[in-house]
Chain A
Amino acid sequence: MPHAPAPVAVVADDERLMREQIVTQLQQAWPELVIAGEASNGREAVALAHSLDADIVFLDIRMPEMDGIQAAQALAGSVHVVFVTAYDEYAIKAFEQGAVDYLLKPAEPERVAITCERLRARLSRKPDSMDELLARLSQRLGAGGSKPRDYLRWVQASAGANLRMIPTSDILFFRAEDKYTRVQTPRFEALIRKPIKELVEQLDPQEFWQIHRATVVRVDAVEQVSRNFRGNQVVHVKGSDEKLEVSRSFSHLFKQM
């Protein structure tokens, strides 16, 4: 049998104890495996895997900078990937297609041995690209909640000396005032530098309607619409006495059904 070079692995987890754990278990299950590097985030893992020309990476899923799934996407096709996670919230097992393996920590020695066995068998082949699996995993990860949405959910405004984060659901309306835009909530008002025109593009059109060149109102805050003496529509909002005029070009918004 020809003497193959020892396989090289990188272990990535943001918690040192967890790296230590998987390294110890791998050394017992597969003494020939060379663990050439340890990374504490996804970016480091990718860099190390490339610079050490690793054959295998063990990736924790939740990591700072770049999570395990993004790292796997970056490494797909060049390295064999094993996910290591404490709680399988992404149901990796459901996606298992032989392209990838996963370990639940703390892993039982028997389970680690099975993973090592599979890896040995696969090392002679080119690593799979795992495209479909990773796309589905990252979709799940996105559904988990912290992924940025397309629209503003918070507005950073100065109220007095402070910079406040105001949730859009708290805002009654925005009004252009000189160089600033005033943010009105039921409790207080604050100023932001962003002009109305720019703001409108970043707000959810289902949540906010522009009713005037200088005014954007949150639809759910509208209490009623009446007409003033000139026959223009005027919006009344809950929690504020201010009356907001609707300009002709936006009056179609409040057409009677």
Chain B
Amino acid sequence: MTPDARPASRDGRSENPPAAPPSDARDALRQLRRGIVVAWWGFFDWLAVVSWKKLVLVSILAMILAGIAKHPLPVLILVLGSVIVKVVAGGKRRAELKATEANQRAQTEQLERTVLEARMQALQAQIEPHFLFNTLASVDQLIQTDPPRASRMQRSLIRYLRSALPDLRQGRRATLGQQVDHCIAFLDIMAIRMEGRLQSDVRVPEGLKSAIFPSMMLPTLVENAIKHGLEPKAEGGRIEIGAEIADGQLAVHVTDNGMGFMPKSDAGVGLANIRERLEALYADRAELVIDVPAAGGTRATIRIPYEVAPA
């Protein structure tokens, strides 16, 4: 652990000194001092960024007012002081303020880059090369031994790729139906490849297919279930996709009776990505819950606010 990661405790801002009961007078004095300090720095910042023209105008105005009030000397000193401060320290302060602003801009740009990167990663995760090449090798084999099945598999692959591609275009929000189609194509392919080792059951009501659902999320859950739950299990198993509305929220489940979750495994970056994206999109109005069904295996549920895509 690096030492600077330690939360500091005796920092004056985060802690009241336990000793010396403060008297009221001392408290008031401290308040006053703080007020003056804040006002001074406010004035200083203003002085640093204000244009000379404006400063001259304000100075003339202040001196006229002071002349009317017959007390021109303090104001004259203040104006002269301001000019000196602006000349001496203004440049440095301006540079500081500019640096802060540039820093904030850099952070925004960094965030944008991260988002772009995440999108690229999501795309890559969507069409896993291992899946693609294995499927193509299977198609090749079926062409020689069972052409009708080869054709079926190839058509499923086309549907799979087609439903993956709209995500590339920006501006359109992904729907649950689109992702269900993608998953059905994926499961059709895996069923041919895994043969008797994979059974699937997709029960998503027709009416919910137009619901907004963040892109990629359902395929990630389904592919996780196959990759970590069912493929590693010699006898295979069953996967179920379901969706319902409860308390105004859309809940989408993916359940498998596979290997179950390993407490020490990372489960890939898929689930962590979903969590982060839900947080970014919906803050605390959405969640990803992983639980263990009574029969074993894994159930992943995404809950988001129910929203219908514009037709």
Contacts and interface: CB of A to CB of B under 8 A. Distances in A.
Interface in B268-305: 268-269, 271-272, 275, 284, 287, 289-292, 298
B137 A254 contact: no
B256 to A, nearest CB: 13
B7 A222 contact: yes
B234 A64 contact: yes
B18 A227 contact: yes
B266 interface: yes
B141 to A, nearest CB: 4
Contacts of A219: 1, 5
Given A149-B265, A229-B18, A256-B8, A87 B133 contact: yes
* Most chain B CB inside 10 Å of its own CB: which residue of A24, A41, A145, A233: A145
Nearest to B284: A187
Interface of B: 1, 3-11, 14-16, 18, 129-130, 132-134, 136-138, 140-142, 144-145, 192-195, 228, 231-234, 261-269, 271-272, 275, 284, 287, 289-292, 298
B264 A148 contact: yes
A257 B140 CA distance: 65
Contacts of B137: 18, 21, 86, 105-106
Nearest to A156: B263
Given A17-B142, A62-B130, A152-B264, 7 more contacts: A40-B234, A86-B130, A155-B263, A164-B291, A164-B292, A254-B6, A256-B8
Contact of B291 (A65, A165, A229, A256): A165
A67 to B, nearest CB: 9
A14 B231 contact: yes
A225 B195 contact: no
Contacts of A224: 7, 14
Contact of B292 (A20, A165, A235): A165
Contacts of A40: 234
Contacts of A229: 18
A30 interface: no
Contact of A206 (B1, B3, B7): B1
